[in-house]
Chain A
Amino acid sequence: MSDTTTNGPLLSVEDLSITFPLDDERAPVVDRISFEMAPGEILALVGESGCGKSMTALAILRLIAKPGRIETHSRVVFDGRDILRLKVTQMRALRGAGIAMIFQEPMASLNPVQTVGDQVIEALRLHERVSTPAARDRAAEIFERVGIPDPRGRLKAYPHQLSGGLKQRVMIAMMLVVRPRLLIADEPTTALDVTVQAQILALLRELREELGMAVLLITHDFGVVNELADRVAVMYGGRIAEEGTRAEVLGAPRHPYTQGLLRSIPSLAHRGETLTEIAGTVPSLGLWPAGCRFATRCPKVFGPCNAEVPPAVRLSDSHRAACHEIAHEVRR
């Protein structure tokens, strides 16, 4: 991978739609979402289960399993190339080397019958021609870098001999050994203890500084977002509800969904008060309202909400929210 000298975005997702068959038609699980990521930036994609955030991540690697499909009007441009139009072999070369992904469940992310060293070496040799001893050295090096004690000895360990935190470190090592420019982290800390979580988050932050790689962080945990993210995109029902810098979205949320989410987090400043929740539940796929998908649960719902898809309103250079209410206010 050559470094791009342009100042353009590293990744730009435009009009990404992912559909699944439902009854006789195709239901959009992700509906025309667009966002950009600068090199070295950490973008958090936040939302509850089923909002399409993991699907978005898989689509960037073109790993959507059948019967899911990325619609043809979508564009995902990585480093100047539209990856949805790459050949299969080109795509395979890009995976791992350009874009890598770590998964939620470190317990299941490693092959139980291979030593972790072999797995890291396999990842390295997929993309670079290196001799076995050199690959072993590189693997030990990256193990040391991700904070695995006794890296040389651990190369020979099997996954079941490692703790959850160590496994996640191995996973990160495996993905970083070829130095991707974008790392997709799908809930990297959900399955870990809180103390281990903090260590892994610190590690991701350090690695970002050191390697200059961008991180697309997928999570439903605002604590993690606050720790790590530069920018935040909040998803609801397959669309981006609000997007902005961490300070903008967490500090001054404008979309009713974001506001509701943040209000439902317990905080020490409001001890003893009843926690507010967002009324209702997420409608299942196919039962979404025609207009704004949050309309069925929104406290501020009015006229156009149920009929028209809300436009994304620019609130600042970096801050957007898709809401009729805000559009109405801004217009006035």
Chain B
Amino acid sequence: MSWIGNIIVAVLVAGGAYVWIWARSNRLWREAMRALVRRRRIALIVLGVYVLIGLLDAVSWVGGDGVQGVAASEARSVIDRIFKPSIFREKSYSEPFARVEFVGGAALTFPGQHVLGTDILGDDVLYKTLKGVKVALLIGGLTCLVLIPLALLFGVSAGYFGGRIDDAVFFVMSTLASIPNLLLLIALIMALGKGTLQVCFALGVTGWVGLSRLTRAETLKLRELEYVQAARALGVSHPTIVMRHILPNLAHLVIITFALLFTGLVLSETILAYLGIGLDGSWGRMIDQARNELSRDPVIWWNIVAASSALFILVLCVNLIADALRDILDPRTLRERA
């Protein structure tokens, strides 16, 4: 399985580089990127760190660093290799930078080296938190990969062609919207299974209605604009009009919605984890497990604080970036800046 992760990383890096080069060659996008960097430098840097950690966690191979036992036969990522979780561990809880165990006071194997302490099984909390990054990014990214094309397909075809197609799409949307979202989600996950792909698919299938409504409305507006009329007067076919004149003019909407959806999805995973259908290794799972420990006296706080801060910072950064994007990509402000 490890090679799939590596290929995905390669594709992501290549895709990112391609988009970067393309955006730099296009004046409008270059300007937009510059404005974004100017306004949200710190948020972008932090997000970059998250993405880097996620990527490092996805590149993996077998053997090569002298780890013994069961772990030696498994593919381990760069993060695994840095932390060596099979060795770098304790027997039970320990506070951040502690030299002794939290309960009982036995000496630790690695005194003072667990920056965020260890959890009930003695696993390093910093390591677990970093492992959660990949899961969070996967939930946001993969789901949007399912959700956005679905929303665009339905929204644009309903808005552009109208009539029966519009009626049909609206019927589907209303039906979906009238089923309690969480129940549908749980039912889907129960039916499909609890894997990452399945959960992302379920989130995507249940979440596309909002964006679809938006793109439908925008397409309705664009369809009547004179440049679409002009394209038709020039003899441009419907698919070409959609590809060249409708979709590019929806790009700002899609980007903004993507950024906002992303945080919503990462957060909704914690709810799923609370309900017991979250993903393995996610922050939601960590928080869910740490929940019981909050009631102990003295309280064990580091594990829940680590997971929730990591979640909070990611969501905050993406939200800040989404907010700036909304200002920057608004067509009205676009015109003013130029």
Contact = CB atoms under 8 A, between A and B. Distances in A.
B249 A111 contact: yes
A175 B245 CA distance: 17
Interface stretch (A30-38, A97-105, A200-208, A322-330): A97-105
A122 interface: yes
Interface stretch (A87-95, A146-154, A265-273, A286-294): A87-95
A127 B237 CA distance: 12
Given A100-B233, A126-B236, A158 B27 contact: yes
B249 A175 contact: no
A96 B230 CA distance: 9
Interface in B225-252: 225-227, 229-237, 244-245, 248-249, 251
B331 interface: yes
B233 A96 contact: yes
A161 to B, nearest CB: 6
B338 A95 contact: no
B interface majority secondary structure? helix
B163 to A, nearest CB: 7
A2 B249 CA distance: 37
B236 A114 contact: no
Give chain B's interface residue range (CB within 8 Å of chain A).
Answer: 20 to 34
A209 B162 CA distance: 42
Contact of B229 (A100, A103, A160): A103
Contacts of B331: 112
B294 interface: no
Contact of A160 (B233, B244, B334): B334
Contacts of B177: none
Given A114-B244, A122-B244, 16 more contacts: A61-B232, A63-B229, A63-B232, A63-B233, A66-B162, A92-B237, A93-B235, A95-B232, A95-B235, A96-B234, A101-B233, A108-B227, A111-B248, A113-B248, A126-B236, A158-B28
Interface of B: 27-28, 162-163, 225-227, 229-237, 244-245, 248-249, 251, 331, 334-335, 338
Interface of A: 61, 63, 66, 91-97, 100-105, 108-114, 122-123, 126-127, 156, 158, 160-161, 171, 174-175
17 contacts: A63-B233, A96-B233, A100-B233, A101-B233, A102-B230, A103-B226, A105-B226, A108-B225, A109-B230, A111-B244, A111-B245, A113-B28, A113-B249, A114-B244, A122-B236, A122-B244, A156-B27
